[in-house]
Amino acid sequence: MEKYSLVEVNDKKSSREFLLLPVRLYKNEKNWIRPLDKDVEKVFDPGINKSFRSGECIRWILTGNNGDTVGRVAAFYDKKIARNNKQLTGGMGFFECINDRKAAFVLFDACREWLAGKGMEAMDGPVNFGDRERWWGLLVDGFSEPNYCMPWNFGYYKELFEEYGFKNYFNQYTFRRNISVEGIHPAIMEKAERVFSNPDYSFRKIDRNNMEKAADDFRIIYNQAWAKHSGVKEITKTHAMALLRSFKPIMDERLIWFAYHKDEPIGFYIMIPEINQIVKHLNGRLDVIGKIKFMYHKWMKTCNKAYGVIFGVVPRFQGKGIEGGMIMAFADVGTRPGFQYNDLELNWIGDFNPSMIKLANQLAFKVIKTHVTWRYLFDREKEFERAKSLLKPR
């Protein structure tokens, strides 16, 4: 009988195994793209990941009788986020495992017991120890190539989570469409035309030579449009600057738009080239050779898909046509002959956000992938509740 052993990741050897297990598991999966090692490693680096300031993290690999690694997982909590739930909720993520119920349950048990020991009452997973736009959710439908820093996994993982007792906390939908104005709902077009004709409104591309203003505008909009959502923290100008600077090596100014009302920042639409189309050629490494390959593919314009990272409009301007205005401003550039990008995918939208789903549908986007955020309540007698809708009650 197979006996599994948990090994805490706390040295170079175990850290390397944590990175290499997916490479072995997915070696025959053509749609899996190996993430950059550095993108995974920085999640667990207290010197980089600010979530360590108010939280903790632990990682394990799982070995079998012969010492081979057959699974991995991380458990973590951030006190600021944990308190935003009905019960103190931590997280588990970066789960990978062979198709074996017993092995998977050893990993789930380890997360549950560690989090309970830290005072948590539930765990979400698989999620990230950090921002939601990365490493969030379990892929359950649409097993095409993943977007940059988004999960791809075997289909049997869904059964493992369900059999353990995880419940569907919310669905995450990835939308896609070609870059054009065809199919956009007439109501969106009408509103967009009204704001375009109003001199109080303006739509501008980011200016990479004035990143300080862009960061400040981003912060102002984000903290009004997003920070009131459960599990989402306000950001500082320093954080906003760091985020925009992280985009700078791959930034295409034609893909990042801001909306203003009388020069007050009221909306943003942040897109980047979908660089997993390049990362797939790097085998996880961004060393000297990897950087040369990256620059080569960037020069060759390998990326023909744009990726919508985040979209936001301050509440008092929502529904006034600002969303459509930014889309139309971008489309005016994106539909010109020779534009590099053919398709656009949006970062996931949760089913708790029906307004954004409605907007995506009106803009003629179609769901092409579904991820799930699962929740496991440690008190098995407690009533489970799905994520609350952001739709305001009438």
Total number of residues shown for the chain: 394
Q: Name the residue with tokens 């936001």.
A: 312
Residue 207 forms part of a structural domain: yes
Same-domain status, 212 and 158:
no
Structure tokens at 64: 């079998």
Same-domain status, 185 and 240:
yes
Phi, psi at residue 59, to the nearest 5°?
-130, 150
Domain boundary among 118, 144, 171: 171
Query: Which pLDDT does position 272 carry in this prediction?
Result: 92
Q: With contact defined as beta carbons under 8 Å apart, do 141 and 368 qualify?
A: no
Residue 102 forms part of a structural domain: yes
3-class SS of residue 180: coil
**Residue range 201-225: mean pLDDT, rounded:** 92
**Residue range 280-307: mean pLDDT, rounded:** 93
From 77, 156, 159, select the one nearest 119 (Cα to Cα).
Answer: 77
Residues 79, 82, 84, 88: what is their CA dihedral angle, to the nearest 10 degrees?
A: -120
Structure tokens at 140: 């359950």
Residue 49 forms part of a structural domain: yes
Same-domain status, 17 and 99:
yes
3-class SS of residue 52: helix
From 369, 344, 349, 368, select the one nearest 359 (Cα to Cα).
Answer: 349
Is the bond preceding residue 126 a cis peptide, omega within 30 degrees? yes
- Please write the tens of the pLDDT for every residue from 157-176: 999 999 999 999 999 999 99
Host domain of residue 36: 5-171
Query: Which pLDDT does position 105 carry in this prediction?
Result: 98
Residue 381 forms part of a structural domain: no
Residue 382 forms part of a structural domain: no
Q: What is the model's pTM?
A: 0.90
Radius of gyration from C-alpha coordinates of the chain? 21
Same-domain status, 163 and 214:
no
Give the CATH number of the domain where residue 314 resides: 3.40.630
- 228: which residues sit within 8 A by CB, 6+ positions away? none
Residue 385 forms part of a structural domain: no
**Residue range 75-85: mean pLDDT, rounded:** 93
**Residue range 141-154: mean pLDDT, rounded:** 96
Same-domain status, 12 and 129:
yes
Same-domain status, 201 and 167:
no
Structure tokens at 274: 């979908």
Q: Which long-range CB contacts under 8 A does 358-361 form with residues at least 24 apart?
A: 359/188, 359/323, 360/173, 360/175, 361/185
Query: Which pLDDT does position 229 carry in this prediction?
Result: 61
C-alpha–C-alpha distance, residues 159 and 169, integer Å:
15
C-alpha–C-alpha distance, residues 82 and 375, integer Å:
13
Which of 179-188, 256-265, 355-364 has the largest mean confidence? Answer: 256-265
Domain boundary among 147, 171, 195: 171
Helices 354-362 and 186-197, axial angle in degrees (round to 10)? 90
Same-domain status, 159 and 300:
no
- 373: which residues sit within 8 A by CB, 6+ positions away? 124, 125, 127, 136, 137, 138, 168, 169, 170, 172, 350, 387
Same-domain status, 156 and 211:
no
Q: With contact defined as beta carbons under 8 Å apart, do 102 and 4 qualify?
A: yes
Same-domain status, 82 and 229:
no
Domain boundary among 171, 192, 225: 171
Confidence of residue 394 (pLDDT cuts 50, 70, 90): very low
As a three-state string, the secondary structure of 294-333 is HHHHHHCCCCCEEEEEEEEECHHHCCCCHHHHHHHHHHHH
Same-domain status, 228 and 162:
no
Residue 389 forms part of a structural domain: no
Confidence of residue 393 (pLDDT cuts 50, 70, 90): very low
DSSP state of 89: E
Same-domain status, 98 and 137:
yes
Report how many domains make up the chain: 2
| Mean pLDDT for all residues in the chain | 92
Same-domain status, 142 and 213:
no
Give the CATH number of the domain where residue 42 resides: 3.40.630.30
Structure tokens at 189: 């077009």
Q: With contact defined as beta carbons under 8 Å apart, do 282 and 191 qualify?
A: no
Compute the Cα dihedral for 343, 334, 183, 273 and give only its sign. positive
Q: With contact defined as beta carbons under 8 Å apart, do 94 and 40 qualify?
A: yes
**Residue range 318-343: mean pLDDT, rounded:** 86
- Please write the tens of the pLDDT for every residue from 222-272: 998 876 665 567 888 888 898 888 888 889 999 999 999 999 999 999 999
Residue 145 forms part of a structural domain: yes
